[in-house]
Chain A
């Protein structure tokens, strides 16, 4: 059978990869279709690339952490582009209450005192006296990750890639991973604007993503290597894609400056803005209309959630499995799929992978 995957952002690339991998023994072919002339030209391009399932518990539902844990294995073993160096969460002394709140909502961290923090990230020594260290978390460079995944797809025998494509193939199944562009078909989908900034400074060395909590302007810095740092990201309930406002840049730079004063002297390498696709509950969803599966609503968790969603799509296609945690199973759209949708294997329910 032929499965068409639309969209070569992180959701589409991982879906194509997992479907091709799981479908190979069944003789399944995958055609990945992308409107642009290369992979990762949508909002994935501006992602932070933090694989931080436990930090995200601060504002996300537990399911995000559960699904996100699968991403750690994916990005370190299947497509080994991530580095497990942990995440560090800090707050300026006067906002220490934020750190307490963060620690109440998250798990799998250790508390660091001034000495431990200075030992872990010497660049922060003397300015921050306490922090939370999430040792098991990872980070990656989103553009490199998508390139690696794209190159891997090019080597797979049962994968065809069509760039600059303007038509969808006649396929047995379509897996629609277009993100915000699928808004016309997904009524509840909305966009949440995010702006980011890339700075270069030879004076600062960080080994892992650092999140600085602040009641008004929380910010994170992700080291990209060679003195390059990604600073992100604003969260605005707004669907305009490409306008970076001066206010947002001021806030991001101001917060970065609070993490390390040398950021004030850094070179601005890039600014970027796009919208994250989100459903009203800010949770990801695999929905179905006939023979089309929509993988969408990854919100601010593209790289964190895409692998788990991709595997679930593949398990549905080749084993008929239903995953109620992301499939809205009570809406009836899946029930007739059991047996019919699964072309191979006996259908059964399950969430364990």
Chain B
């Protein structure tokens, strides 16, 4: 595939389709090794808790920055558009990037996005020059509104954050892909197994973001590799043109003309 399959999001051209979150690893050293093994070029970082609004989290972020990856700060845990906008502005200052993964959480139990607040915050931030990566559902109308608001990328969930359930609404994700063939779609949440990541890539999604499934694995580095292979496999499969399932067996070798009895004496 090489360079011709690069993914372009905003001003960046990426060869890796594996984005990694940086929370909940056993140690920063393991996180760094997982990022390297994943080949990730973008890592998400949560501003809200770790930095405390000051530069006090510096040591941790220095470790991340030394890896040479692009940092995508998020507004994890924000519950209102206002809070998310303030967090995004703080992140821009702290990390020196106008990229922001926008999360506005509407429901505490499922951490489901508040799509109304999301659209509102996306508009404010886009107008302010941010490159917004909105964490959203598979809802088509919301997706349309987010694009109207200035987003050039969408980050739909597969399932609730950290649930590891894989694709919750296959029909909805297919429809989203079909409706927005030219918008980069990065599946953001709910992937638990490499096979699930491969599945979303096979649907034609442009990239996948993982965190919990890697960070909390018994061996996060090995799991990063497993996801990396799966994402690559899923992408290659999508590009290669997957066969459609059939109701009937179709022999791959023609039966006609084959000598009777070869290998089937009984």
Chain A residues lying within 8 Å of B29, measured Cβ to Cβ, are 279-282
Size of the chain B interface, CB-CB below 8 angstroms = 20
A197–B51 Cα gap in the complex (Å)?
21
Q: How large is the interface on A (under 10, 10 to 19, 20 to 34, 35 or more residues)?
A: 20 to 34
A25 interface contact, C-beta 8 A: no
Interface 9-residue window, one of A26-34, A233-241, A312-320: A233-241
**A51-73, CB under 8 A of B: which get 1 and which 0?**
00000000111000000000000
**A263-291, CB under 8 A of B: which get 1 and which 0?**
00000000000000011111100000000
Known contacts A105-B218, A190-B59, A280-B32: does B52 contact A240 (CB below 8 Å)? yes
A243–B50 Cα gap in the complex (Å)?
13
Contact B56–A238 (Cβ < 8 Å): yes
**B212-244, CB under 8 A of A: which get 1 and which 0?**
000010100000000000000000000000000
Q: Which residue of A lies closest to B162 (CB)?
A: A215
Chain A residues lying within 8 Å of B57, measured Cβ to Cβ, are 237-239
A340 interface contact, C-beta 8 A: no
Known contacts A59-B26, A190-B59, A280-B63: does B32 contact A238 (CB below 8 Å)? no
Q: Which residue of A lies closest to B62 (CB)?
A: A190
Chain B residues lying within 8 Å of A238, measured Cβ to Cβ, are 49-52, 56-57, 60
Contact B50–A237 (Cβ < 8 Å): yes
**A218-246, CB under 8 A of B: which get 1 and which 0?**
00000000000000000011111001010
Q: Is the interface of A mostly helix, strand, loop or mixed?
A: loop
**B54-80, CB under 8 A of A: which get 1 and which 0?**
101111100100000000000000000
Contact A236–B218 (Cβ < 8 Å): no
| Beyond known contacts A190-B60, A239-B56, A281-B29: 19 more, CB 8 A cutoff | A60-B26, A101-B216, A104-B218, A191-B59, A193-B56, A215-B162, A236-B50, A237-B50, A238-B49, A238-B51, A238-B56, A238-B57, A239-B57, A239-B58, A240-B54, A280-B27, A280-B29, A282-B27, A283-B27
Using CB atoms and an 8 Å cutoff, list the residues of chain A in contact with chain B: 59-61, 101, 104-105, 189-191, 193, 215, 236-240, 243, 245, 278-283
Closest 9 pairs between A and B when the two form their complex, measured CB to CB: A190-B59, A282-B27, A281-B29, A237-B60, A240-B56, A280-B29, A237-B50, A239-B56, A238-B57
